[in-house]
Amino acid sequence: MFIEFFFLLREYKLNVSIKEWLDLMEALDKGLAGPSLLDFYHLCRSVLVKSEADYDKFDLAFAEYFKDFSSPFEIPEEVWKWLNGGMKSKEELYDKIDPNAPKYQLEELKQMLEQRLKEQRSCHRGGNYWIGTEGISVLGHGGFAEQGIRIGGESRYRSALQIANERAFRDFRQDNIIDTRQFQVALRKLRHYSSTVDAPKTELDIDGTIKETTENGGFLKLVFEKPRKNTVKLLLLFDSDGSMLRYSKLCSGLFQAVHKANHFSDLKVYYFHNCIYEHLYTSPHCIRGEWEDTEKVLNTLGSEYRVIFIGDGAMAPTELFKPGGNCRIGLYNELPGIYWLQRIRDKYPHHIWLNPIEESAWDHAYGHVTINAIREMFPMFELSLDGLEKGIKKLLVNR
């Protein structure tokens, strides 16, 4: 069954063993794949893929093999067809913007979407009520409402409270070398904070050798030192999907550099979408159920871990400050996101936040309210080479 898929995975350089493939076949025989292609995708990935660095290869192979299949989604097919149409000019749409348009809470938007799906019978472009494109409706895409639930399309204001079309985040691949070298050089500074092992002097001291050779009239004089033991423990928390998609290449460079570095005695990586709530995801896809309880992570990882957040911090204020602000449909957070950020700040004295948005825009970019609230809790640095170097210095001396 699916033997062509097996060989296609091999073509994409995925090291899938015969045993793993037989395990997948056994899982299919037992009905563990569920009724949909999406369920089958998650089963295959969990059985066949050993590292998150291979997720992208798996996604490419899966997409090629199943390119002629369609997968049902909770948004009816008719709605998707209605949303695929020509677009008016920006000038025409700007003329329709209502500066006094009402502001909705997330629960109100969810109820509106549910009601429109029951009522709507045709395509709509423009207007302010139905699911459609253009116009100022808070449901659909391609319009100029400043908040709402985006269904497909691209965000104009980066402010949709809910993205109904959950796109799979382009995963971080370790074989991508763009910008990785520069990040590695910056991360190498962590080595200077590793403790010295009580052992013979077997490691070449570059600086000492240069100094002694210079003082020795240019004749080489090697200097050795005791080896260092990697004692730095690092917890990386990546914001994934949504507005962070535009920064995926930059974040990928940092991700690869961290994984290629050998400066850490332990490295933990988790993901979140916009803000941290009761769960931390174990992959950048932020798939429901593929997570660990945030409380468990805090109880498991000691305060000696250095914590680095990577995210733009831009979100609706309700996502940060309110219970129920989680923008994922079907997930309700009893405690506001700011509670969990404060817990992490208080547990780990060494922490920084790396923001891919240019520092000069933090005070006026979309989400500046939440960005500045986060800046009050965590030292924030721009996710650039210079910002990373400053952040690492702060991370390792912060008390």
98-107 residue pLDDT tens:
556 666 666 6
Bridge partners for 125 per DSSP: 133
Report angle CA 199, 200, 202 to the nearest 5 degrees: 115
Amino acid at 10: R
- Non-local CB neighbours of 210 within 8 Å, separated by 6+ positions: none
Contacts with 56 (C-beta within 8 Å, 6 or more apart), sequence order: 170, 171, 172, 173
CA-to-CA distance for 189 and 309, rounded, in angstroms?
A: 18
Which regions in the chain score pLDDT beneath 50? 70-74, 87-97, 154-178, 196-197, 398-399
Q: Rounded to whole angstroms, how far apart are CA atoms 304 and 231?
A: 10
Rounded Cα distance, 50 and 19, in Å: 13
Residue 73 one-letter amino acid: F
Q: How far apart are CA 272 and CA 238, in angstroms?
A: 6
Helix (H, G, I), strand (E, B) or coil at 100: coil
Quote the pLDDT of residue 169: 36
Q: Which two tokens stand for residue 38?
A: 């999406």
Beta 228-229 vs 195-196: how paired, if at all? antiparallel
Q: Which residue from 169, 189, 314, 191 is spatially nearest to 252, judged by alpha carbons?
A: 169
User: Crossing angle of helices 18-29/37-48, nearest 10°?
Assistant: 150
Specify the DSSP element, H or E, that contains 132: strand 132-133
Helix axes 368-377, 337-347, angle to 10 degrees: 30
Residues in Cβ contact with 215 at an 8 Å cutoff, skipping those fewer than 6 apart = none
pLDDT tens-place string over residues 190-222 = 666 555 445 677 788 898 999 999 998 888 999
Cα separation, 369 vs 188, whole angstroms: 34
Rounded CA separation 280/51 (Å): 18
pLDDT digits (tens, 9 = 90+) for 115-157: 776 766 555 555 666 665 555 666 655 555 555 555 555 444 4
Task: Write down all domains in the chain, each with its CATH number in brackets.
Answer: 3-65 (no CATH), 77-163 (no CATH), 180-193+230-397 (3.40.50), 195-225 (no CATH)
